[in-house]
Amino acid sequence: MKKFFLIVILSLFLLNCSNDTRKGEKEKLIQAKSEIKKIGKNPSKEEINKIYVKGLELNKIYPEISKKYFESIEKYDARAGYQIALYYQFKNKNIYLEKLKKASDRGIEEASRKLGEYYFTNKEYNLAEEYRLKTLEQGNYSYENFDQALFYLTFTSNPISYTNKIENFLKKNEDNINIKLLKARYLVNQKKYVEAEILYKELIQESFKDNEYVAEELLGKFYIETEQYEKSEEYLLKTLKKYGNRKKTIDILFNLYTRTNSDSKIKKLILNLSEPEREKYLFKLAGYYKNKKKYNEAKKIYAELVKKDKKYDKYLKKLEYLIKDLGKNE
């Protein structure tokens, strides 16, 4: 009987929630119609942006109402057209692509990127190339975006033509320091290592630094790719000296030292770190020793880590079982 009453109460609660949601949606719809009507046929930039922000605010909870906001300003604001495209992404493929193309033609880089991804997934490589290159033309100079453009070289039916298009883009924008970075990456891709090295050194002279990369670190990574490990270490250490303990640089340097079996240098690197980074790299070092079958070295580090945090105890015990099973004793 109690179970029956609980079910009834739960059903009434859910029904009430559903009614509240519908009521809220109805109120939002009335509000949307009123606000859209208010801006009239010749809205100001401020009014257009206000409607756009309203659409974004309601996007997740009330997508249908959000779409009405975007539709009301689509002809004035290309961003609204892109948001409408996203609304149709899993509802109607034809409308989705149509809206994306319009947004792309109006300069929305995200639309061009999505079209490139769509066509690549569907193995329409010529169209994928076209829209990936368009993202570059529209100002997406990120390393990742350019790497994706280079990745398409593997699939293109006409690598010479596609390569020429990339080179034309780089040449047209060669005075842009961000494009220099991409050109250096392209030269590495084409195995033109001497030219790439010269360009990376130019970036150092120009003190290239953005939110993600610094020139010295990039040259250090280049030397790893070309197996010039001493030079790589030199420039990675210069990066740390100039910019402090950059997490990305430390990670690259740690991986370089493990690649070159430079155990003493790994320990020195970790000793210069503060917590919690020191703990993180001690754990990585223990894993490195374990993979190299230096079990006692790994055991010492795990034991040290257990003193800091009991969560490492399971790794220590697993290693102890392994040593016992193998009968190892360095």
Average pLDDT over residues 260-286: 93
Question: Which pLDDT score, from 0 to 100, does residue 217 have?
Answer: 95
The answer to whether 158 touches 130, Cβ cutoff 8 Å, is no
pLDDT, greater one: 77 or 19: 77
Which residue has 């109607």 as its token pair? 92
**pLDDT tens track for 151-169:** 988 888 888 999 999 999 9
Q: How far is CA 329 from CA 30, 323, 324, in A?
A: 77, 7, 9
Question: Which pLDDT score, from 0 to 100, does residue 23 have?
Answer: 55
For residue 113 the two structure tokens come to: 């990127």
Helix, strand, coil distribution of the chain in percent, nearest 5: 80, 0, 20
**pLDDT tens track for 53-101:** 999 999 999 999 999 999 999 999 999 999 999 999 999 999 999 999 9
Question: Which pLDDT score, from 0 to 100, does residue 323 have?
Answer: 81
Cα three-residue angle 230-234-236, rounded to 5 degrees: 115
Question: Which pLDDT score, from 0 to 100, does residue 22 have?
Answer: 59
pTM of the prediction? 0.73
In 3D space, the residue among 44, 46, 45, 64 whose CA is nearest the CA of residue 55 turns out to be: 64
Average pLDDT over residues 235-257: 94
pLDDT, greater one: 137 or 175: 137
Question: Which pLDDT score, from 0 to 100, does residue 8 have?
Answer: 45
The answer to whether 215 touches 209, Cβ cutoff 8 Å, is yes
Residues recorded for the chain: 330
Average pLDDT over residues 12-40: 69
The answer to whether 181 touches 213, Cβ cutoff 8 Å, is yes
Question: Which pLDDT score, from 0 to 100, does residue 183 have?
Answer: 93
Q: How confident is the model at residue 257 (pLDDT cuts 50, 70, 90)?
A: very high
Question: Which pLDDT score, from 0 to 100, does residue 89 have?
Answer: 95
